[in-house]
A = this chain, B = another copy of it.
């Protein structure tokens, strides 16, 4: 297996992009990534998208996008693992390059979520849960994560304020990200006074509905070394699943798929949690970030809330979490999120993250998950 580097990244502003259709939303960052890499060919396209069928009535997405990019007849594959579709695309792209099947792979993620009504979007997102055992009974994702939050508060004494602090921190970071959907600061008070969605979660605990895409170009490290940019390698990958219904789990406050994927990635990279200098995590809800930092081993089990309160996960803390603003502030076009995390990590490792730069960053991580942790992808990136 060959070592694999990210040689190009691309992202354009996220938000409610009424004036653009999915193909345009995808092609813009894809072309930026190609330009950033400075390559004149792409051997293969892998695109992550969760539910283009329900959101815009379009499947066969990878062929459509290869075609619209003008890159047909290259092989093109769409992969799906709910909100972890982007992370899955990254893994599959890595495999194509590592195995020698392709030299230059365009990995993208995209979702166009605002062409449907709110109810339809809620239904589409709900298809990441077990529809027969969860959705059928009326529960949607805010409800599932509210169950997790309530259990975490009960078991570990996590407070309502600590949940809010996750959102406040991520908005502070996101206020420094010009591509974020909501690039402004919020306060704990604003979170606590926002509309109740599913007790204890309020609307400012929830990531938004977003249109957006992101893209990276993968290539062998040997090729990356000939380019002018700092070489950023993918050194660790983890991929695990769990029951997709919460009812199947022993302890709903513990994200086993995140733990397992993290362990695999650490092992492959020969790294420990202490070696990671910053991490982009899947904060689809504030409680998710807390559980993820615990499962990845950055904080002790049950201490995720306290860690936020003590500033350990802030941009200048011991382990900055979500310097990009996370899903909460940057936005969450579900299939694109895992790829956008990689874009952020690479920008940080190259020292191109502007006001939100983590100083001296050489080793970063991205953690992307589907549903309430039914699937998880973890990647470790290192600057050579």
Contacts and interface: CB of A to CB of B under 8 A. Distances in A.
Contact of A241 (B73, B123, B371): B73
A341 to B, nearest CB: 18
Contacts of A66: 241
A130 interface: yes
A157 interface: no
Contacts of A257: 73
A127 B60 contact: yes
Interface stretch (A51-59, A292-300, A360-368): A51-59
Interface stretch (A96-104, A308-316, A343-351): A96-104
Secondary structure type dominating chain A contacts: mixed
B73 A256 contact: yes
Contact of A131 (B58, B96, B101, B245): B58
Interface residues of A, number: 64
Nearest to A23: B132
Contacts of A123: 57
A260 interface: yes
A95 B99 contact: yes
Contacts of A187: none
A35 B53 CA distance: 34
Copies in the complex: 2
Contact of A76 (B1, B76, B132, B241): B241
Given A51-B53, A64-B130, A64-B374, A81 B78 contact: yes
Nearest to A243: B67
Contact of A57 (B78, B135, B260): B135
Nearest to A67: B243
Contacts of A78: 79-81
Contacts of A126: 57
Given A1-B99, A99-B1, A59 B72 contact: no
Interface of A: 1, 21, 23, 50-54, 56-64, 66-67, 72-82, 88, 91-92, 95-96, 98-101, 123-124, 126-132, 135, 239-245, 248, 256-257, 260, 370-371, 374-375
17 contacts: A1-B99, A51-B59, A53-B53, A54-B59, A59-B127, A60-B81, A60-B128, A63-B244, A63-B370, A67-B243, A67-B244, A67-B248, A73-B240, A73-B242, A73-B257, A76-B375, A95-B96
